[in-house]
Amino acid sequence: MSKLLEQVFAEVEKLPESEQDDLAMWLLDELKSERRWDKAFAQSGVQLEELAEEALSENQEGRTFVKSKTTERFRKAFVVFVAK
């Protein structure tokens, strides 16, 4: 266990048992959710690749538009990510 996680658990031990249980349930739910997302992405790799190629094609054909500076930064990052 990492030092940081040990520190977190040391703080959690100071909480009332009901709050510890709430935190534990939240953490377990988050871990389960992450596993589900990992599995879903692993199973949908081909679909995601096809959607990315379609999005890039639409962008290159000028069929997309920028809604905001944040959207533009995301688009640039997405293009770089997909191109790798």
Per-residue pLDDT of 13-71, as tens digits, reads 999 999 999 999 999 999 999 998 888 878 787 888 888 889 888 888 888 766 666 66
* Full-model pTM: 0.48
Q: What pLDDT score does 48 carry? A: 80
**For the chain, what are the domain ranges?**
1-43, 45-84
Orientation of helix 17-43 relative to helix 45-60, angle to 10°: 70
pLDDT band at 84 (very low <50, low <70, confident <90, very high): low
Q: What pLDDT score does 45 carry? A: 74
Q: What pLDDT score does 66 carry? A: 63
